[in-house]
Structure 1
Amino acid sequence: MHADALTREIRVTRRHLERDGQPWFPVTGEVHYARIPRERWSEVLGHARAGGLDSVATYVFWQAHEPGPGNFCWDGNLDLRAFVELAGTHGLDVVVRMGPWAHGEARHGGFPDWLVERGLDTRTNDPAYLELVRAFFGQTVAQLTGLTHAEGGPVIGAQMENELYDQPEHLAALRRIAEEAGLRVPVWTATGWGGAQVPPTLLPVYSAYADGFWEDAETEWPAFSPVHFRYSTVRDDLSVGADLRESLDGIVLEHSGDGAGDGVAPTDDDALPYATCELGGGMHVAYHRRPLVTPQDVAALALAKIGSGSVWQGYYMYAGGTQRTGPHGTEQESHATGYPNDVPTRTYDFGAPVGEHGQVRLHHHLLRRQHLWLQHDGAGLSAMTTTVGGGSDDSGVVDDQGDLRWSVRSDGCRGYVFLTTYQPARRPLPPQPGVQLAVALDDATVTVPSRPVDLPAGVSVAWPVRYPLADGLVLRSATAQLLTRIAVDGTAGDDRPDREVVVLVATDGVRVELVLEGDVAANGPVTARREAGTTVLDLTAAPGTDTVVGLRGSSGEVDVLVLDEASANRLYRLDVLGRDRLVLSDAPVLSLDGALVTHTDAPATTVSLLPAPPSLTASTDAAAVTTAQREGALWSTWTLSVPGAGPHRVATGLHPTAPAPPGATTGGPMDRLSAPTDFSGAARVHLDVPADALDGVDRVLLRVSWTGDVGRALVHHDGREEVVSDHFWHGRDWDVDLTPWRDDVVRDGVTLVLLPWRRDTGVWVDPSVRDLPDGIAVAAVDVVRVARVRLAAATDDPPTA
């Protein structure tokens, strides 16, 4: 054990997790190393860290690592050890989801075919099954030798099994087997949803999804969905995995008014911390049902869980990937392997914040705003108790859709007020006029805000109460959310000394009010009034990157930067050139070895830093960086020119006809619509891609904007046509990564094989995209060129740390 092990200790307490003896609020995202090309691992992990995650979770798929009995594979993108080590270099801890059964939309739930064929009593303490598990766990633990937390490594936790609800003795046995193999980690977990019976040796972790592909095609609005967009003391969700339970075990769970169900009761153990591992970072699609979960859905659900008392945010998925191929072909869940759902054979994009091919999406930015706050004040928040208010009764069931939904997290001295008017578009909530709450603390009642405000429809907020700004400066309340704070050096030409900048973000449509305790001097775009021992400041300028309010109390001072939402979506906090800096970027950025790395699909982009380094220089001659321009009082801005990045149109306005599309069929244990396997009568669209469109950049995506049913992208490789991507149309563009196939595409192009949309098949898609004619329409096909540029200091710059 390392000498500093005691000070680095991680503990699970009754209320929260602790690290270094202090409350700790982990933020974890699911990233499957086996589904991502090894050469892309660093980029994906870098985006995860830049997105505010402090840890990643990953499945260890048995089928991938032992395709034949005793034939273990740990190389290439199956190199678990290399993945964990790389995560550690990015400053990320790792939770290893060891299985042995994983689900994860994998063939046989991740079991190898040879195991299934033996007919053992799997997922139980059957001795013959446990003997095989011991061998698999032994191999897995061997990959982690020297990488556990106690050894100074990044592995902090292990999950046993997944969605196993009635075998607590087996779950406990799995932990014993892993420990016997030598695994020592501070956190052991098991999924707790579905009324799972979790033994006391494992921490139950929970899930919440905005929608589910596992619902029936006739389900317009899943019963579980509205539960997750309000504040509630109910942690459990009986619906996740319910289709498998029904089809494999014959148990049907019916939601009732108290959240219970027939056969299995939900479990909500308030003697343990409220931890999650599967907050929906998006949603996969099945052939019969194809949800369209929006970035706003993802962000609102995540914030609702914080407002409900979560002390561990875990997302599934945070980064998408590609289904593997193995000895039996593609390794996705399907009717052919006894599962109720047919999912795509290749894509596992999941609509995640970071897509299958590294696409950085809006919810990466929306979630980062929450994660920056948790990085800064998660320790304080995790120690706060939760009071759930309007819009639900004690069991978390909505009384009135028109009620104001609110909760408060507080330690008795300070806290946060949570308010929401957000629910997905299929059942939106109304605005709330004249919002004002009385927050009871140990020694006072704080009215938030000082005067009522109108809360627009479709927003979720967390407003600080009695937040300490500086010595002698307390923000009693604000109608803006806390993002982060950073130290700023006084510089030549600036008459201000070294100071801190506290960053808030306003909510579109909500006036910004800052209430300070006592008599506080303020300068900047505000009007001030004194009320009942407080200083009330009303913002008179629009929130933005230069909207700064200077505050000075009896013994301290601070600057408050009030951003608008669009600017907050561009804000990062990264280690750049030897110190933490705030970064405003038009393109996705991450930090790597102290440099700023951008991935841009536009020929020009801007980057602003605070505090500013002396200079930035590009790593490639294909990019040019302008001299810094001072922007307002805080930022220095550089413009990055990358002429090679951007879209290149290769086709538009196509209406191909499929001469003989196959008829609809059903299958699987629940007799749901089956994905077509016969593409002989599909439409074929051949696309030639110029060689110069495929060269000179880091990544090249083929982006297909289309409507139809199922699409496949074929590339001629080694003398045969290979399916490199597939897509069940559901309303989003279809991205195909051409980068690994550059030579093949230059030589032979790409062929899209497309089947038509036919309303009468009964496939469910979101109402927002449902009104379309039968047939196939390809609106546009673009080659999207993504450039990678590393920005560092000039070699003659002085140190900036």
Structure 2
Amino acid sequence: MKRLIAFFIILALVCFSASAQKIWKTDVTNVDTTVVRGHLQLGGVSPSGGTISVNSNYIERNGKPYIPVMGEFHYSRCAKENWDKELKKMKAGGISVVATYLFWNYHEPEEGKFRWDGNADLRAFVKLCDENNLDVIVRIGPYSHGEWRNGGLPDWLYGRPIEVRSNDPEYMRYVERYFKQVGEQLTGLMYKDGGPIIGVQLENEYQHAASGWALGYGRFSELTAARMDVGITQVQAGINSEGNANSAIGASHMKELKRLAKAAGIDTPLYTATGWGFATIVEDGSIPVMAGYAYAAWTPGNVASDFYLFKDIRKHPDYAPVSFDTSKYPAMAAEIGTGMMTSHERRSIVPHESFLPFMVRNVGSGNNGLGYYMYHGGNNPLFEGSNLSYTDGSVSMRSYDYQSPLGEDGYPRLGYKSLKLINYFLQDFGESLAPMVTVIPDSNTSDSKDVTTLRYAIRSNGYGGYVFMHNFQDRCQTQNLGNNRIEVQTKSGKVCIPANNTFTLKSKMSAIFPFGVEFGGIPFNYATVQPYCKVGNGFVFISLDGIAPEIVLDGKHFVKGVKSSFSQGRTYIKLVAGQACDFKIDGVDFLVVPFDMALNSYKYGDRLLFSEGIVVGSEKAEIITTSSSVNIVVWPEAKLSSEKGTITKSNSSIGSSWTLNMPEVNPNISVKKSGDRYLIVDASNVNWDELSELYIKFNYVGDRGVCLMNGYVKTDNFYVDAPWIVALKKHSEGLREHNMYFYFLPMDKNGQYLKDLSKLPDFGKSKEYLDLGTPEVIPEYRTTLFITK
């Protein structure tokens, strides 16, 4: 009787377990991977014989599929002495292409008087990109937007009897002169000359958006757009469901801009044009690049967006309808919102844990090019007494931090670390991914507020591919999604992920699982670990919390370093969750590391280094860290030494582990409170030669802060639930003679932006609230590392 009862209990548990499983099914046997070539007027050849071409689905580089990872960084918003350091950080973060705006009015503030010196030295910036093995896309305008004064159009154009952003002969005469100046600065730096410039963006949001003239009257009452286009012009990215009656005229203008650019020597394999919201492109002569802003400051707040829903983004672009035939062009994004500007009325706060799920959604949806806007923040310059910030007086005067992965002065945030996980993936596995097309499961939700359905998409060639999934939704609270199994019907048979278990996709997490693909010639049936990067001849994967790490191989293989089993024609490798381990499969090196460990990893040559500091450089490795003592793990194992300090070996489960101790620097800086709204910084005695950088972190709660020195606003900040971090080294000369003043304004109890903040202070009976908190002084150290076998 007891045995019978036990039997029924076990049977009930099995039945309950089976019923609790959520099996998500998708069929990829009918995917169409056909590409069309030769129909676009794009492409080029380098002096060494390298090639870049564009087909209907993706870019090809040297005859192989290629997915660019583009990071927006405006040289004019960064001190020239910091360009090299910040470009190195971008490359370490997995960026392969630097995208940068040219702002016409910064280079020709007075008619006929051009400047290309100092922070306006475009040529020096592009050459530094080249030295750091970074490609470049220059967004030459003539109109750029970028939350910049007049969108980059010079003040002296205002009020003249011409139509800007049109084929008006007088306007085009000025544009031609400007393009010739740009061409002269970039002579010899084009891809066809062996240089790093692989692409040019013409105009920006043409016949879609504009900004206000700084010299106009009233907010956005006079737009930087031709009068014929005012009726369809928006202030920021959005949807245009009305179309464009002037599209033929606009197409003629874009074609003429491309002609003028090429005539000026700005001749590149790729030309792009923003294509969202029915913007006009160069038909067959440019790639329409798209955008996506889940936390846009110009849309109503607290409304869940559709940007976290998977879709076939090539057939159904974000901000559709569009003006072009989507079947002719690859899906590429120029502006995926990694961050957002803030204004006095609107504090649209972008959580950095949203960045990676957003990119997983975009790549899983079919994007074959990622462009982050912004990837690196900046600071709006002052020139000849003019404020070059946006004409809307409610935005920051100087700061263009944008809540970006690398902040205004290059301070790294969580988003910088997490984006590496997909950037490295695209760099090393984009060749196999790019030809794969998107399949959207029937089970996927179309309701952005539905947070109980597993959100996933598959990119496949019919035989194998990658499963992309995430569990994030802006402005919604998500829960852990458990008991999931994905079944994919391929031309080679059915793949179950996992085969004998289920997985939990935790809240705010994302995952990419391979199936039916090879790594180093090893045929993976599937894996519940995420492909990360190639290191030398080895492969690195990431294990995720809540998902048992497992690799299943087709056929029998020799596995050394971890336990494996063979059953029914497959080799099973089960790994220990939360632990790093390295092993070999048929002599090929593999490394699996937990998610948190992967966040602190950096590629350098044929090694992967793990550290809380940032490891940068290609010719030589350097570490940038805010701690004088830092641990470094090197995989595969190698010897490590340092230019500064002492380095000792420690224990590690993988590779070799080292502890670097550098002499701790006392910055000799004074931060004193004065009254209830002021902090005074005295940095006159700082030895700047000892420091890579010196930051002050202001842990205040209030409305905003303003940084002033010698009568000028140096930067400013709208409170956004996070500390304000200011770098001082670029001000070092002025700080020798002048104090820096920080002025803070209190939060108003009735401020309309309070709805954007996650936590509000206790106002009590007061109408205002200001807490200056305790500022933190953060020295930054930098030293060269020497890695030898």
- After TM superposition, list the pairs within 5 Å mapping 1:45-56 onto structure 2: 45-56=87-98
Choose from 274, 290, 311 the match for 1:206. Answer: 290
Q: 1:14/1:766 Cα in 2 relative to 1: closer, same or farther (>3 Å)?
A: same
- After TM superposition, list the pairs within 5 Å mapping 1:421-570 onto structure 2: 421-424=471-474, 426-450=475-499, 451-471=501-521, 473-487=522-536, 500-526=537-563, 528=565, 530=567, 532-539=568-575, 541-545=576-580, 547-551=581-585, 556-570=586-600
1:303 equivalenced with 2:360 (yes/no): yes
Structure 1 residue 625 displacement after superposition: 2.8
AA aligned opposite 1:307: G
Deviation digits for residues 101-132 of structure 1, max 9, x if unmatched? 10000011111111124252111111111110
Q: 1:741/1:186 Cα in 2 relative to 1: closer, same or farther (>3 Å)?
A: closer
Deviates more, 1:131-140 or 1:346-355: 346-355
Q: 1:549/1:609 Cα in 2 relative to 1: closer, same or farther (>3 Å)?
A: closer
Q: 1:75/1:788 Cα in 2 relative to 1: closer, same or farther (>3 Å)?
A: same
- After TM superposition, list the pairs within 5 Å mapping 1:328-407 onto structure 2: 328-335=385-392, 342-389=394-441, 392=444, 398=448, 400-407=450-457
Measured in 1, the distance between the counterparts of 2:161 and 2:693 equals 44
Structure 1 residue 603 displacement after superposition: 1.7
Aligned to 2:307: 227
- After TM superposition, list the pairs within 5 Å mapping 1:499-648 onto structure 2: 500-526=537-563, 528=565, 530=567, 532-539=568-575, 541-545=576-580, 547-551=581-585, 556-575=586-605, 580-592=606-618, 594-618=619-643, 623-629=644-650, 631-632=652-653, 634-644=654-664
Measured in 2, the distance between the counterparts of 1:455 and 1:28 equals 28
Structure 1 residues without counterparts, runs of 5 or longer = 239-258, 337-341, 488-499, 658-682
- After TM superposition, list the pairs within 5 Å mapping 1:698-709 onto structure 2: 698-709=692-703
Aligned to 2:223: none
RMSD: 2.6
- After TM superposition, list the pairs within 5 Å mapping 1:314-329 onto structure 2: 314-329=371-386
Aligned to 1:288: 345
Q: Scaled by the length of structure 1, what TM-score is found? A: 0.83
Q: 1:645/1:363 Cα in 2 relative to 1: closer, same or farther (>3 Å)?
A: farther
Structure 1 residue 351 displacement after superposition: 1.4
Structure 1 residue 638 displacement after superposition: 2.5
Deviates more, 1:305-314 or 1:327-336: 327-336
Structure 1 residue 484 displacement after superposition: 1.6
Identity over aligned residues, as a percent? 30
AA aligned opposite 2:507: A
Q: 1:194/1:356 Cα in 2 relative to 1: closer, same or farther (>3 Å)?
A: same
Deviation digits for residues 626-679 of structure 1, max 9, x if unmatched? 1444634x4122322123358989669x7954xxxxxxxxxxxxxxxxxxxxxx
Measured in 1, the distance between the counterparts of 2:121 and 2:682 equals 36
Q: Scaled by the length of structure 2, what TM-score is found? A: 0.84
Measured in 1, the distance between the counterparts of 2:640 and 2:730 equals 35
Measured in 1, the distance between the counterparts of 2:258 and 2:431 equals 29
Secondary structure of the corresponding residue to residue 566 of structure 1: helix
Deviates more, 1:781-790 or 1:31-40: 781-790
CA contact 2:44–2:268 (8 Å) conserved in 1: no
Counting matched residue pairs gives 699
Measured in 2, the distance between the counterparts of 1:455 and 1:268 equals 37
Measured in 2, the distance between the counterparts of 1:527 and 1:581 equals 26
Q: 1:24/1:703 Cα in 2 relative to 1: closer, same or farther (>3 Å)?
A: same
AA aligned opposite 1:512: P
Q: 1:387/1:36 Cα in 2 relative to 1: closer, same or farther (>3 Å)?
A: same
Aligned to 2:275: 192
AA aligned opposite 2:633: S
Structure 1 residue 375 displacement after superposition: 1.6
Structure 1 residue 444 displacement after superposition: 1.9
Measured in 2, the distance between the counterparts of 1:117 and 1:603 equals 57
AA aligned opposite 2:528: T
Deviation digits for residues 344-401 of structure 1, max 9, x if unmatched? 01111111111211212221111111111112110110011110125647xx665944
1:780 equivalenced with 2:774 (yes/no): yes
Choose from 123, 131, 146 the match for 1:89. Answer: 131
AA aligned opposite 2:743: V
Deviation digits for residues 242-275 of structure 1, max 9, x if unmatched? xxxxxxxxxxxxxxxxx66xxxx67671331001
CA contact 2:704–2:716 (8 Å) conserved in 1: yes
Secondary structure of the corresponding residue to residue 270 of structure 1: helix
Aligned to 2:103: 61
Measured in 1, the distance between the counterparts of 2:448 and 2:683 equals 54
AA aligned opposite 2:286: L
Measured in 1, the distance between the counterparts of 2:325 and 2:339 equals 25
Q: 1:513/1:331 Cα in 2 relative to 1: closer, same or farther (>3 Å)?
A: same
Structure 1 residue 740 displacement after superposition: 2.9
Choose from 144, 147, 169 the match for 2:252. Answer: 169
Q: 1:378/1:486 Cα in 2 relative to 1: closer, same or farther (>3 Å)?
A: same
Measured in 2, the distance between the counterparts of 1:474 and 1:746 equals 63
AA aligned opposite 2:307: V
Secondary structure of the corresponding residue to residue 296 of structure 1: helix
Q: 1:3/1:562 Cα in 2 relative to 1: closer, same or farther (>3 Å)?
A: closer
Structure 1 residue 743 displacement after superposition: 5.1
Aligned to 1:110: 152
Secondary structure of the corresponding residue to residue 356 of structure 1: coil
Q: 1:212/1:650 Cα in 2 relative to 1: closer, same or farther (>3 Å)?
A: farther
Choose from 740, 747, 765 the match for 1:750. Answer: 740
Aligned to 2:54: 12
Aligned to 2:214: none
AA aligned opposite 2:275: G
Deviation digits for residues 760-790 of structure 1, max 9, x if unmatched? 1312553423455332101111221112212
Measured in 2, the distance between the counterparts of 1:597 and 1:222 equals 43
Measured in 1, the distance between the counterparts of 2:685 and 2:729 equals 12
Structure 1 residue 5 displacement after superposition: 4.4
AA aligned opposite 1:542: A
